[in-house]
């Protein structure tokens, strides 16, 4: 058993998540206690980003390694969950950790048996049930495999949040239908419920709740002088009712929930005074300002050199208009927080802070080059291969971003830089939606206005949250614009704020603007920018492949006859054919001396 939080000791941190806890476990009538439980409450940024985790596991009684399995499952989850990326959602983090624990146990069991995967005993080796409660932000997240139970007591209501994964054969016979370590893959039940101060969650193994009713548990919790005493009373009640199994109970009371601020996650920098506007040649907090790269209404960006290392960086400060806006300052610091967690050649990253700061500003790696927007102005009719390469690079970067459960939401040519070797890098993460952070502080900014209207997906204007397919739409618009200089639906998407209005949006085929684009390539772009996100590609890689070679399953959008397209090559061929016909007619036409015109013949005597 592991417990890093003193029982019945609520934390005193203001506006931060805190709990009180009571636990008790016993082998009961059995010789060995194969139950295991634990809790981990981190400090500082980890508490804000990951929350508090409470776990309970029950080893399979038919296995002599049940106790080891339960202990491994609990300790592994409490260790590995808090090592997952803070950008991941709680669900993603928990399910990935449980899947990894299951795979390891299953591999150990196979190795011990020395038999093929399809053979062997189901309930031998490292096998256990597992249930975890994660409190984060203002919600409780439940992960469940097996037959343990989580009971939620809120006011006068008692609700069971888990379902026993047992298969009943009749005659009182049953077997465990789902457990950790049984199969190569494990199915995890996940549930999220709102939490409130005063709520109580009771985690029990089957040796307890199969012998004590939910109403009795609620009464015992209410009558207990301490949470440890309540846990002991629940177990004792089960023993008195005839339980012949191991028994474990955990009683978790929510004392305080986070207030929805990100200060704990980002640090004290959100409270620092905003950095002033800077000038070339100025020394500022360990950086020498070289020149101004960008000066806008929201921020100013400078090329700077770190004094100690000589490293060149991009330093961003808020504009005078935004300097007093605490939301803008938090967004600025969150942008750097995000970039520090990116590691892909197509995504702008940020170096770790060299020293403590006295002002609020952000620092990122410096990319020398031009924006994709500028490149497109210089290349209004680019080669198809150049377009494909651009989309391929951007898709690779977006895929890496999406794997971290981040949605860019402001992908546009202005936010893509091209270095001297033709490598593209996505920049500007001020509008990025991060799943792990949205659980703490849901985005106050409307998704439809987080990015640039011409490139924002239609579903955002209906109030739906951004998804990876929203970024795919923006990527498709970039491909369309590179080939045509236009937008696929013109400027009307931003004004289509109802389903009826969006049904009237009509895609203009690329070929009407650029007849040299193949129909099959146009079809791929049409699918990428479909108004209905369900009709778009499910994967970025599919779009990249269909831009490179024909996909016969895609219907060409409103095919236009070749002669109506006005293709330069087509008209060149037509002009050449007309010239040849004219030349041939001149060669075969009789001379006037041999065959004078009829009128002249009539005048001759």
Tens digits of per-residue pLDDT, 247-302?
Answer: 999 999 999 987 766 666 666 677 789 999 999 999 999 999 999 999 988 899 99
Domain encompassing residue 484: 376-557
One domain, residues 164 and 65: yes
**Residue 464 falls within a domain, yes or no?**
yes
Average pLDDT over residues 495-524: 94
Average pLDDT over residues 80-95: 94
One domain, residues 210 and 72: yes
pLDDT, tens digit (0-9, with 9 covering 90-100), for 315-345? 999 999 998 888 888 888 889 999 999 999 9
Among 518, 535, 557, residue at a domain's last position: 557
Among 533, 557, 581, residue at a domain's last position: 557
One domain, residues 439 and 540: yes
Average pLDDT over residues 407-431: 93
Strand extents, DSSP E, 125-185: 128-136, 139-145, 149-154, 157-160, 166-170, 173-176
Which carries the bigger pLDDT value, residue 289 or residue 355? 289
Task: Give the angle subtended at the CA of 119 by the CAs of 118 and 120, to the nearest 5°.
Answer: 135
One domain, residues 349 and 469: no
One domain, residues 357 and 438: no
**Residue 127 falls within a domain, yes or no?**
yes
CB distance 231 to 179 below 8 Å:
no
Query: How far from 158 is each of 123, 139, 141, 150, 216, CA to CA, in Å?
Result: 33, 17, 17, 10, 11
Q: What is the pLDDT of residue 118?
A: 47
One domain, residues 489 and 344: no
Which carries the bigger pLDDT value, residue 5 or residue 501? 501
**Residue 595 falls within a domain, yes or no?**
no
Q: Which long-range contacts (CB under 8 A, 24 or more apart) does 29-34 make?
A: 29/243, 29/244, 29/245, 30/61, 30/244, 30/245, 30/246, 32/67, 33/67, 33/246, 34/58, 34/59, 34/60, 34/61, 34/66, 34/67, 34/70, 34/128, 34/246
Q: What is the pLDDT of residue 576?
A: 62
Among 334, 365, 396, residue at a domain's last position: 365
Percentage of the chain surpassing pLDDT 90? 67
The enclosing domain of 444 has a CATH number of 1.10.510.10
Task: Pick the range with the lowest mean pLDDT from 71-80, 222-231, 451-460.
Answer: 451-460
CA 131/CA 153 separation, integer angstroms: 17
One domain, residues 242 and 300: no
Considering only CA atoms, give the Rg of the chain.
33
**Residue 571 falls within a domain, yes or no?**
no
Average pLDDT over residues 390-397: 98
**Residue 590 falls within a domain, yes or no?**
no
pLDDT higher than 80, residue 503: yes
Task: Pick the range with the lowest mean pLDDT from 2-16, 201-215, 265-279.
Answer: 2-16
Average model confidence (pLDDT) across the chain = 87
One domain, residues 182 and 114: yes
**Residue 123 falls within a domain, yes or no?**
yes
DSSP, collapsed to helix, strand or coil, labels residue 372 as helix
Average pLDDT over residues 510-529: 96
Q: What is the pLDDT of residue 546?
A: 97
The enclosing domain of 238 has a CATH number of 3.60.40.10
One domain, residues 418 and 495: yes
One domain, residues 341 and 213: no
pLDDT, tens digit (0-9, with 9 covering 90-100), for 581-593? 666 666 665 554 4
Tally of domains within the chain: 3
One domain, residues 307 and 340: yes
Q: What is the pLDDT of residue 268?
A: 66
pLDDT, tens digit (0-9, with 9 covering 90-100), for 218-238? 999 999 999 999 999 999 999
**Residue 602 falls within a domain, yes or no?**
no
The enclosing domain of 306 has a CATH number of 3.30.200.20
Q: What is the pLDDT of residue 582?
A: 65
pLDDT higher than 80, residue 55: yes
pLDDT higher than 80, residue 520: yes
**Residue 592 falls within a domain, yes or no?**
no
CA 99/CA 459 separation, integer angstroms: 33
One domain, residues 249 and 273: no
């Amino acid at each position: 058993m592991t417990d890093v939080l003193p029982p019945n000791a609520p934390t005193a941190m203001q506006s931060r998540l805190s709990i009180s806890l009571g636990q008790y476990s016993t082998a009961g009538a059995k010789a060995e206690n194969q139950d295991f439980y634990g809790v981990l409450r981190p400090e500082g940024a980890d508490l804000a980003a990951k929350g508090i985790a409470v776990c309970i596991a029950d080893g399979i009684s038919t296995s002599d390694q049940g106790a080891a399995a339960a202990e491994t499952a609990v300790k592994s989850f409490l260790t590995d969950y808090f090592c997952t990326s803070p950008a991941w959602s709680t669900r993603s983090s928990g399910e990935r950790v449980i899947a990894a624990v299951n795979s390891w146990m299953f591999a150990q069991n196979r190795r011990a048996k020395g038999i093929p995967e399809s053979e062997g005993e189901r309930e031998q080796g490292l096998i256990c049930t597992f249930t975890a409660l994660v409190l984060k932000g203002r919600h409780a997240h439940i992960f469940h495999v097996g037959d343990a139970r989580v009971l939620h007591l809120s006011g006068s209501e008692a609700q069971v949040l888990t379902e026993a994964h047992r298969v009943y054969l009749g005659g009182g016979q049953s077997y465990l239908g789902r457990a950790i370590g049984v199969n190569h893959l494990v199915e995890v039940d996940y549930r999220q419920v709102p939490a409130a101060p005063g709520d109580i969650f009771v985690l029990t193994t089957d040796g307890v709740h199969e012998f004590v009713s939910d109403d009795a548990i609620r009464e015992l919790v209410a009558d207990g002088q301490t949470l440890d005493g309540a846990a002991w009373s629940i177990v004792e009640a089960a023993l008195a009712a005839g339980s012949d199994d191991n028994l474990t109970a955990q009683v978790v009371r929510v004392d305080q929930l986070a207030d929805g601020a990100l200060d704990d996650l980002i640090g004290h920098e959100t409270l620092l005074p905003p950095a002033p506007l800077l000038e070339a040649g100025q020394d500022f907090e360990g950086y020498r300002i070289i020149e101004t790269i960008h000066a806008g209404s929201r921020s100013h960006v400078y090329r700077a050199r770190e004094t100690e290392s000589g490293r060149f960086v991009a330093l961003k400060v808020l504009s005078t208009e935004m300097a007093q806006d605490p939301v803008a300052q938090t967004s600025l610091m969150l942008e750097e927080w995000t970039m520090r967690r990116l590691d892909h050649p197509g995504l702008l990253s940020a170096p770790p802070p060299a020293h403590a700061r006295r002002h609020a500003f952000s620092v990122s790696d410096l990319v020398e080059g031009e924006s994709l927007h500028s490149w497109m102005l210089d290349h209004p009719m680019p080669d198809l291969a150049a377009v494909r390469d651009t989309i391929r690079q951007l898709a690779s970067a977006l895929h890496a971003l999406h794997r971290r459960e981040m949605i860019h939401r402001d992908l546009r040519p202005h936010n893509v830089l091209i270095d001297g070797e033709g490598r593209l890098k996505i920049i500007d993460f001020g509008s990025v939606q991060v799943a792990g952070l949205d659980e703490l502080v849901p985005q106050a900014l409307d998704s439809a206005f987080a990015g640039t209207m011409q490139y924002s997906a239609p579903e955002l204007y209906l109030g739906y949250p951004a998804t990876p397919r929203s970024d795919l739409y923006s990527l498709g618009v970039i491909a369309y614009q590179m080939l045509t200089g236009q937008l696929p639906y013109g400027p009307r998407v931003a004004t289509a704020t109802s389903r009826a209005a969006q049904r009237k949006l009509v895609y203009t085929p690329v070929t009407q603007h650029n007849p040299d684009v193949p129909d099959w390539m146009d079809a791929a772009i049409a699918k990428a920018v479909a108004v209905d996100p369900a009709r778009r590609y499910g994967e970025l890689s599919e779009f990249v492949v269909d831009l490179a070679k024909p996909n016969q399953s895609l219907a060409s959008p409103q095919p236009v006859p070749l002669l109506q397209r006005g293709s330069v090559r087509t008209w060149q061929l037509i002009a050449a054919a007309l010239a040849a016909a004219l030349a041939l007619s001149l060669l075969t036409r009789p001379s006037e001396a041999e065959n004078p015109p009829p009128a002249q013949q009539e005048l001759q005597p």
